[in-house]
């Protein structure tokens, strides 16, 4: 049996707070605040590949300008260079 | 003379480039507008789609232009154009001012609101045919159909001929 019940104001306020993520958000926030272009993420409790997968999913879903890579068993996080200038579609583009 | 070209954000290069090339050859200026500010070539048609910056539909003022051309593209963004209220307002504004309006291939249903009781042609997709019939359009199996200020082309193979007629109408105003 399903029942529809009204939501209290306190509950509504609780719904507004967004879950930031326990692992990915803290790593990305640290990197953002560091100001580095590229940094190595030192992992101890899990494999770099596993953390890379988690971070990539987070970056993709939040559309963040970072890149994650695993090289020689180490995990790196890098800032993406700004996107190339997209040309305006006008008469100069048409051959 | 300036023409507004409306396209889906993933446009059909087979329709876009011949249209713009023909307009340029005729000495007609154009401005492209879409639902998004960055548009790209339809992926199924080109391996490496090029991206371009265009006006969004909200930025368009129909009074600035002398004619309207609607072209097609990938199914999903094209169908967004079918139901876009801004596009409808733009099409109706051009129609009120009796300015030439052209649509190609599967983009013809975008202008369906002004086709009641008028002759037109469309690429034979059943969905397009049903949409046009619902609005009371008279569909003809011809490559180009002209009815008043509206010109429709059945496929991209007749774009050059359609643009020629369109420009003739523009100059005749």
Provide the pLDDT for residue B87: 95
Task: Decide which of 3.40.1160.10, 3.40.640.10, 3.40.50.300, 3.40.50.880 is the CATH code for B2-172.
Answer: 3.40.50.880
Cβ atoms of residues A46 and A24 within 8 Å? no
CB contact under 8 A, A91 and B39: no
Distances (CA, A) of A23 to A28, A29, A61: 9, 10, 15
| Distance between start and end Cα atoms, chain B | 11
Distance from CA of B168 to the nearest CA of A (A): 20
Instruction: Identify all chain B residues contacting A94, using CB atoms and an 8 Å cutoff.
Output: 17, 20-21, 24
The Cα B6–Cα B39 span in angstroms is 11
Domain range for A47: 37-82
Q: What are the mean pLDDT values of chain B's consecutive 10-residue runs (173 residues total)?
A: 94 94 93 92 80 92 94 92 94 94 94 94 93 94 94 92 93 79
Count of domains forming chain A? 1
Provide the pLDDT for residue B57: 93
Cβ atoms of residues B3 and A94 within 8 Å? no
The Cα A89–Cα B52 span in angstroms is 5
Tens-place pLDDT, residues A16-47? 766 666 788 889 999 999 989 999 999 888 89
The Cα B10–Cα B72 span in angstroms is 9
Instruction: Identify all chain A residues contacting B52, using CB atoms and an 8 Å cutoff.
Output: 86-89, 93
Alpha helices (H) along A3-47: 9-16, 24-34
Point out which residues pair with B25 in neighbouring strands.
none
Distance from CA of B39 to the nearest CA of A (A): 9
Domain ranges of chain B: 2-172
Instruction: Write down the pTM of the prediction.
Output: 0.72
Q: Is B51 near chain A, with CB under 8 Å?
A: yes
Interface test with A, best of B6, B11, B54, B56 (most A CBs within 10 A): B54
ipTM, 2 dp: 0.82
Residue A83 pLDDT greater than 70, yes or no? no
């Amino acid at each position: 049996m399903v029942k529809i019940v009204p939501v209290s104001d306190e509950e509504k306020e609780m719904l507004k707070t967004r879950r930031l993520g326990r692992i990915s958000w803290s790593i990305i926030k640290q990197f953002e605040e560091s100001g580095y272009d590229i940094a190595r993420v030192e992992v101890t409790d899990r494999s770099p590949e596993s953390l890379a997968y988690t971070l990539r999913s987070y970056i993709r879903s939040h559309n963040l300008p970072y890149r994650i890579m695993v090289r020689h068993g180490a995990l790196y996080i890098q800032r993406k260079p700004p996107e190339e200038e997209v040309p305006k579609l006008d008469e100069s583009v048409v051959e | 003379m300036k023409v507004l070209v409306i396209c889906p954000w993933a446009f059909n290069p087979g329709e876009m480039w011949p249209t713009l090339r023909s307009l340029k050859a005729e000495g007609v200026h154009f401005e492209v507008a879409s639902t998004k500010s960055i548009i790209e070539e339809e992926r199924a048609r080109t391996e490496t789609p090029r991206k371009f910056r265009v006006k969004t539909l909200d930025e368009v003022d129909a009074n600035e232009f002398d004619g309207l051309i609607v072209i097609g593209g990938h199914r999903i963004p094209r169908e967004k154009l079918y139901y876009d209220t801004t596009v409808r307002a733009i099409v109706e504004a051009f129609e009120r001012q009796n300015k030439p309006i052209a649509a190609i291939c599967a983009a013809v249903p975008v202008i369906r609101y002004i086709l009641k009781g008028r002759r037109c042609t469309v690429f034979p997709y059943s969905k397009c045919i049903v949409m046009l019939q619902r609005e009371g359009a008279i569909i003809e199996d011809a490559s180009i159909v002209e009815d008043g200020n509206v010109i429709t082309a059945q496929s991209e193979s007749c774009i050059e001929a359609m643009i020629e007629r369109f420009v003739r109408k523009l100059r005749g105003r």
